[in-house]
Structure 1
Amino acid sequence: MVLLPADRMDSLFSPRCMWVNGPIIVGAGPSGLAVAACLREQGVPYVMLERADCIASLWQKRTYDCLKLNSNKTFSQLPRMPFPDHYPEYPTRRQFIDYLEDYVAAFEIKPKFNTTVRSARYDETSGLWRVGSTTTSGDVMEYIGRWLVVATGVNAETVVPDIPGLDGFEGNVTHVSDYKSGEAYRGQRVLVVGCGNSGMDVSLDLCDHGARPAIVVRDAVYREVLRKSTFELPMLLMRWLSLWLADKLMVLLAGKVELRTPALEHGALVRIHAGDIDVVPEVKGFGKGGRVEFADGRVLAFDAVVLATGYRSNVAQWLQLNDFFNKDGYPKTVFPHGWKGPSGLYTAGFTRRFGFSGANADAVRIAKDLGNIWREETNDLW
């Protein structure tokens, strides 16, 4: 391996090029930061590209004020650095952001911010990855290197459902990524579409701020196993069992009782049982005057809608000619084997496991693999 200086160099081709010693990491969220920290421990240099102007932009710019981590701090901490002892069991959004900022400082992680990756392709002829990017100021750059780490995760783009009449709804329609606090909805009748973690959180927050929320529940979400919700049970299992075994047991139990939701927020359930949060079935369509028709035939009026309909990967939009990912931008190979692909491709943050345990495992494996390659090829030079 020829080690070239990691600075800008003239190229015969447009745009300008930069050779990268080590991997090119796309994404400065928790998964990308975990990879960077583990690479530093292995002595492997890297370049990290981030489209936003900060680390963990989802947490800093697209989350609501009342958010707490939905897994405890043991399963949410990143590799090589635990949460501070004084943090609660379930850290708040602000605490998690502060932790990430400290993590970046501790491991001297310096992403290239405001840099959007437009394309990434593997050049079979040269055996190198070519990653094209643009900055917010209009600068164009192509990063070239032997390895690519995709760490953009599963929350890169918002998902907006295609519901008849939604575009013509006369009230305010907001995706949960733009929702901050229920204060703006005080006294209003609000329909929350989506009953996962965010839907439950937002419904409770709206209730606490004097709004009257109704949450859309498409299936029987209230099924419980051993009087534990579908989120609480796996966390309990993992106190005593390995992640692998706990996961297998949950899959078995899910097959028996047809569990349909990843989490049930306890506070929201209490308010639902108290009648403070209404439960409505699937939306059939939106009509005039803020009216919404539901699958059971009811028609109710609302002042606003919050779409807690989640996010999706954007990998398919920029990673070219690669069969390792499916059309939805997820690795075809499932956890724990999806961290490594062909031709020097690695992925982190696509496991969809509890907390960041899956992403952390990916980061450790990636860094160890690259560290071994790096040391072997560096030693060959001498």
Structure 2
Amino acid sequence: MKIPTTCPKYVPKNDFLQYLDNYVAHFGISPLYQRRVESARFDESTKKWRVMAAKVPNGEEELEEEEFFGRFLVVATGETSDPFCPEIEGLSSFQGKIMHSTEFKSGKDYEDKSVLVIGAGNSGYEISLDLANHGAKTSIAVRSPIHILSRGIVSLGLYLLKHLPLYFVDNLMVMLSKLVYGDVTKYGLTRPHEGPFYLKVAFGKYPVIDVGTYSKIKTGEIQVLPAITSITGNDVLFHDGKSYAFDAIIFATGFQRSTSQWLQGDEYLLNEDGLPKPDFPNHWKGKNGLYCVGLARKGLYGAAMDAENISNDVKENL
């Protein structure tokens, strides 16, 4: 079921939610929301997967536990399932507001406040822009080199990858980035030695798609800071020896997967980090009817391939 042609190239949130509702209705799917999987184990006696889930309405304490059985089990929890916040010395002493990027709603609540965003992936980059647009005194802590690309550059790269070698496209992406954004080191940023698409394929690291943040960095409306050393009260000490006080800290530090905590008895398909052990493109199928989709770090294209492979395999084994 395709996204309607009336939608723009970059589909807005509300339009995408409507598409999901239409998808569910069209295929007669009945999702069970507000459930937390506690365990999943293959039962040798019944040759079925036994899944225990807790009902957690509105984040409250679970009211009851449910049991599900299935001949097949598809792990589709995604690459970004559980928010991750790194341990920082003295973080517990911070007196201001602390949150993960998943909790962030809008920068309008932070006008005239000093806010530190930790992490310069796409979430951190866009949250910083929203904060600056709403009058917050915004800083972003950048620990690692990043590729900054425009939407147009990324679209061109994705098209060229269908016809040209990855290394050639990566070299072109870096050249275009330098032409558009210039010398980023003047503003406290550095570029990786590896190309943007290589990093995505090899390590699942996405390039930063700039939607206006970089111009705010150039004007000083967003301050770029190095990695954090420690926190004392509301004062944050950075690797360059400088210290600044903040009213709020927002962790845009990514996610980790908790699959290994509830998936029991699988020693073949997924590793402790919740990613496939077998190499792509043979990563999607395990043993005893166990599958995974969208975990190969290949984006939506890879997830679509997984879904088709799994559907065909299940059909053959019914």
If the TM-score is normalised by the length of the shorter chain, which range does it land in? 0.7 to 0.9
Provide the residue aligned with 2:256 in structure 1: 312
The one of 135, 140, 145 equivalent to 1:210 is: 135
Provide the C-alpha distance between the structure 2 equivalents of 1:232 and 1:163, rounded to a whole number of angstroms: 37
Provide the residue aligned with 1:150 in structure 2: 75
Equivalenced residue count is 287
Pairs within 5 Å for 1:63-74? none
CA contact (8 A) 1:215 1:280 kept: yes
Pairs within 5 Å for 1:55-66? none
TM-score, normalised relative to structure 2: 0.82
Q: CA deviation at 1:344?
A: 0.8
Provide the residue aligned with 1:33 in structure 2: none
Provide the C-alpha distance between the structure 1 equivalents of 2:21 and 2:225, rounded to a whole number of angstroms: 40
Q: CA deviation at 1:243?
A: 9.3
Provide the C-alpha distance between the structure 2 equivalents of 1:327 and 1:207, rounded to a whole number of angstroms: 39
Provide the C-alpha distance between the structure 2 equivalents of 1:330 and 1:219, rounded to a whole number of angstroms: 23
Q: CA deviation at 1:169?
A: 0.6
The one of 205, 210, 219 equivalent to 1:274 is: 219
Q: CA deviation at 1:231?
A: 7.5
Residues 1:92 and 2:12 aligned together: yes
Deviates most, 204-213 or 327-336:
327-336
Residues 1:83 and 2:3 aligned together: yes
Provide the residue aligned with 2:178 in structure 1: none
Q: CA deviation at 1:249?
A: 5.8
Q: CA deviation at 1:220?
A: 3.0
Does the C-alpha gap of structure 1 residues 256 and 204 become closer, same or farther in structure 2, counting only changes over 3 Å? closer
Overall identity of the aligned pairs, in %? 37
Provide the residue aligned with 2:59 in structure 1: none
Q: CA deviation at 1:165?
A: 1.0
Uncovered stretches (5+) of structure 1, i.e. residues with no partner: 1-80, 375-382
Provide the C-alpha distance between the structure 1 equivalents of 2:153 and 2:92, rounded to a whole number of angstroms: 39
Provide the residue aligned with 2:54 in structure 1: 134
CA contact (8 A) 1:171 1:305 kept: yes
Q: CA deviation at 1:125?
A: 4.1
Provide the C-alpha distance between the structure 1 equivalents of 2:120 and 2:192, rounded to a whole number of angstroms: 21
Provide the residue aligned with 1:346 in structure 2: 291
Cα deviation digits, residues 303-359 of structure 1 (max 9, x gap): 1111111122121111002112111111112433221111110111212234x2111
Q: CA deviation at 1:127?
A: 2.6
Q: CA deviation at 1:189?
A: 1.1
Provide the C-alpha distance between the structure 1 equivalents of 2:167 and 2:20, rounded to a whole number of angstroms: 27
CA contact (8 A) 1:165 1:287 kept: yes
The one of 324, 327, 331 equivalent to 2:276 is: 331
Cα deviation digits, residues 152-205 of structure 1 (max 9, x gap): 112221101101111211111111111000001011111000100100010000
Q: CA deviation at 1:270?
A: 1.5
TM-score, normalised relative to structure 1: 0.69
Cα deviation digits, residues 39-65 of structure 1 (max 9, x gap): xxxxxxxxxxxxxxxxxxxxxxxxxxx
Amino acid at match of 1:318: W
Does the C-alpha gap of structure 1 residues 364 and 193 become closer, same or farther in structure 2, counting only changes over 3 Å? same
CA contact (8 A) 1:158 1:310 kept: yes
Cα deviation digits, residues 197-223 of structure 1 (max 9, x gap): 1000100000111112111111332x5
**SS of equivalent to 1:257:** coil
The one of 277, 284, 298 equivalent to 2:229 is: 284
**SS of equivalent to 1:102:** helix
Provide the residue aligned with 1:40 in structure 2: none
Amino acid at match of 1:264: V
Residues 1:176 and 2:101 aligned together: yes
Residues 1:298 and 2:234 aligned together: no
Amino acid at match of 1:257: H
Residues 1:123 and 2:43 aligned together: yes
CA contact (8 A) 2:160 2:169 kept: no
Provide the residue aligned with 1:187 in structure 2: 112
